[in-house]
Amino acid sequence: MRKIVIAGNWKMHKTLDEVTDFLHKISEWEDAFQHKCKIGIFPPSIYITIALQQLQNNNIFVGAQNVHDEDFGAFTGEISPQMLSSVNCKYSIVGHSERRHIFGEKDDFLNKKVRSLLANDQKVVLCIGEKEEQREEGKTEEVLENQLSQDLKKIKDQHMKDVMLAYEPVWAIGTGKTATPNTAQAAHKFVRDWLTDNFTEEIARDTTIMYGGSVKPKNIESLIVEEDIDGALIGGASLNIESFTKVIELAEKKSFK
Ligand code: PGA
């Protein structure tokens, strides 16, 4: 069965002192809270090794927010899948809407990243989602289908166990405008059906599809009860230890009744 995953994407936030303080608090919380879902954080890459060290006795994964597809080379400012493996970091986000729309990353590049990560035994969180105008024009499914088919091109069935998806409508990210549970569920169902059609029924059943976009303690319960929503990728509300752990506790209550 697929796992419920709650992960925090810190984006470009936090100083070293703030990171250390957060990690200390979440590690104490995690010791005390017998959780069943998978919990993760995606700190800025400069803090990945610190987070891995500080959480080594905890059951919380640490991942990179972005990665290049090449193993090494003249790519100033980039980090590689091989580097992540060498520090024992096993997860990476690919295709976050900020990478797509602020930094102009295209689907063929994202596909190369996915393939390179999987070849390096890494786990991938692939983000997909439509912009507001695309939704208004009724193009949501077309956008999702395009992103999925290009970003997961040439991925073999046996590698899909290392791929998680995050449906993140661009208009809901950092805006306070969460998709309604019905809207999110419809998109997740579309994605799961696409997985059935393009991979296998088993892969569709077992692939975690997180929702992202202004997830907070006040809306997680209504989202997580939806059949095809298997967790959350959280930006703003993951920066604060109280709101992040509250989302996890509320999600657990609803999803493991
Ligand atoms: P948000 O960000 O929770 O602040 O909307 C989500 C994301 O970008 O993953």
Span from the CA of 123 to the centroid of ligand 1 (angstroms): 20
pLDDT of 16 reads 98
| Mean pLDDT to the nearest integer, 33-38 | 88
- Whether the CB of 233 sits within 6 Å of ligand 1: yes
Q: How far is CA 206 from the centre of its chain?
A: 16
Residue 240's pLDDT is 98
Structural domain spans, the chain: 5-253
Q: What is the pLDDT of residues 133-161, one digit of tens each?
A: 999 999 999 999 999 999 999 999 999 99
pLDDT on residue 43: 98
**What is the pLDDT, as a whole number, of residue 143?**
98
CB of residue 231 inside a 6 A radius of ligand 1: no
pLDDT of residue 1: 79
pLDDT value of position 122 = 97
174 lines ligand 1 (CB under 6 A): yes
Q: What pLDDT shows up at residue 35?
A: 84
Centroid of ligand 1 to alpha carbon of 234 (angstroms): 5
Ligand 1: which of 132, 175, 233, 246 to mutate, most ligand atoms within 8 Å of CB?
Answer: 233
Instruction: Indicate which atom in ligand 1 lies nearest the CA of residue 216.
Output: 3
Q: Using an 8 Å Cβ cutoff, are 185 and 227 in contact? A: yes
pLDDT over 90 at 254, yes or no: no
* pLDDT of res. 23: 98
The residue that leads in pLDDT, 34 or 246, is 246
Bridge-based pairing of strands 163-167 and 209-212 is parallel
The CATH number for 5-253, chosen from 2.60.40.4070, 3.40.50.1000, 1.10.1740.10, 3.20.20.70, is 3.20.20.70
pTM exceeds 0.85, yes or no: yes
Per-residue pLDDT at 178: 84
pLDDT tier, 255 (very low <50, low <70, confident <90, very high otherwise): confident
Measured distance CA(199)–CA(29) in Å, rounded: 38
H/E element holding 184? helix 181-198
- The predicted pLDDT at position 28 comes to 95
User: Which residues are marked as active site?
Assistant: 96, 168
Q: What is the pLDDT of residues 199-239, one digit of tens each?
A: 999 999 999 999 999 999 999 999 999 999 999 999 999 99
249 contacts 33 by C-beta, under 8 angstroms: yes
Per-residue model confidence (pLDDT) at position 174: 86
Question: 9 in ligand 1 pocket by Cβ < 6 Å?
Answer: yes
For residue 166, name the pLDDT band (cuts at 50, 70, 90): very high
Each residue's pLDDT tens digit, 106-141: 999 999 999 999 999 999 999 999 999 999 999 999
Strand partners of residue 7 = 40, 233
230 near 7, Cβ under 8 Å? no
Q: Would you state the pLDDT for residue 45?
A: 98
Whether the pLDDT of residue 172 is over 70: the answer is: yes
What are the distances in angstroms from CA 7 to CA 33, 70, 76, 234? 16, 26, 28, 6
Distance 44 CA to ligand 1 centre (A): 15
Interval between CA 184 and ligand 1 midpoint (Å): 14
- The helix-helix angle for 217-224 and 241-255 (nearest 10°) equals 20
